[in-house]
Structure 1
Amino acid sequence: MNRIILGCALLAIVSCSKKEIDPNADSNVMLEEPVVSVVDSAAAGQHAGLALIEGGDCLTCHKMDAKLVGPSYQEVADKYTEADVDMLANKIIDGGAGNWGEIPMTPHSGMSKENAKKMVEYILTLKR
């Protein structure tokens, strides 16, 4: 009988000690880098950079052909060249501000340089 009471007491303590998560609260915690198989993307006829963009949080602020929070990918492609791939990949990883207005780009510090470059290479294919 004492074990049942002790078990119920422990269950009550554990249940009441969990912190409620507010789904509407802002968070500065970056999502993990999307896991995308480049082989699967190529087999599906999709550029690896596009698969990474679609698997990440990029489309929250960017669209392919229209300004949202940040510039459209076509605007980025029109402004930069292949010589800027490393610089743009670093901007994805480190974040940035001032090139496209007042709103800063959130850093994606968990992103590998290799994947950031694949994303930039895809974006540059959208040049008009």
Structure 2
Amino acid sequence: MKNYRKLLCLAVLTLGFVSCGEKKETDPMGNPIEETKTTTTALSSKDLGKELFEGKGMCATCHKPDAKIVGPSIKEIAKMYTEKKASISMFLQGEADPIVDPTQFEIMKANFAITKTMTEEELKGLEDYMLSIK
């Protein structure tokens, strides 16, 4: 009986120490899953702007680099904003009047629902991207 108690105590202590160790995730087959560390490369402001222009911002639906579709071309927008030293970001926030083609302003207002939710960094990226198109 004494040996049984000693063996039981030893088993409990062993399990206690083993279960306190570092826990590792396993896949469904019981194999340990190794942690992978990913590094992300920060996009340049211009690259972020291009990504937003073609994606979330939905700008590419109406604006092309060098052709008027629904709205003016990016080149035309960049030229006007550069010449007038105006801010595309301010316009996209609804805080500045349209200067390129005011007749298209009502159509553009629909996109303000998207652009007004963008961060300053995103708006700066859009502006940098658009001004880089020459």
Q: How high is the TM-score relative to the length of structure 1?
A: 0.54
Secondary structure of the structure 2 residue equivalent to 1:64: coil
The CA deviation at 1:97 is 4.3
* Residue 52 of structure 2: aligned partner: 52
- For these two proteins, the number of residue pairs brought into alignment is 86
What amino acid maps onto 2:51 in structure 1? A
* Residue 3 of structure 2: aligned partner: none
Query: Is the 8 Å Cα contact of residues 41 and 51 (structure 1) preserved in structure 2?
Result: no
Structural RMSD (CA): 2.8
Larger radius of gyration: 2
| Cα separation, partners in 2 of 1:111 and 1:121, compared to 1, 3 Å | same
Residues 77-114 of structure 1: CA distance to partner in whole angstroms, max 9, x if unpaired? 222229846x2101112275464041212212211222
Higher relative CO (Cα under 8 Å, sequence separation at least 6) belongs to 2
Secondary structure of the structure 2 residue equivalent to 1:39: coil
Tell me, yes or no, if structure 1 residue 90 matches structure 2 residue 90. yes
Q: Which runs of 5+ in 2 are unaligned?
A: 1-39
Query: Share of identical aligned residues, percent?
Result: 33
Q: How high is the TM-score relative to the length of structure 2?
A: 0.52
Query: Is the 8 Å Cα contact of residues 90 and 113 (structure 1) preserved in structure 2?
Result: no
Give the Cα separation in 2 of the matches to 1:97 and 1:83: 12
Q: Which runs of 5+ in 1 are unaligned?
A: 1-37
The residue correspondences of 1:27-66 to structure 2 (distance < 5 A) are 39=41, 41=43, 47-56=47-56, 57-66=58-67
The CA deviation at 1:51 is 1.0
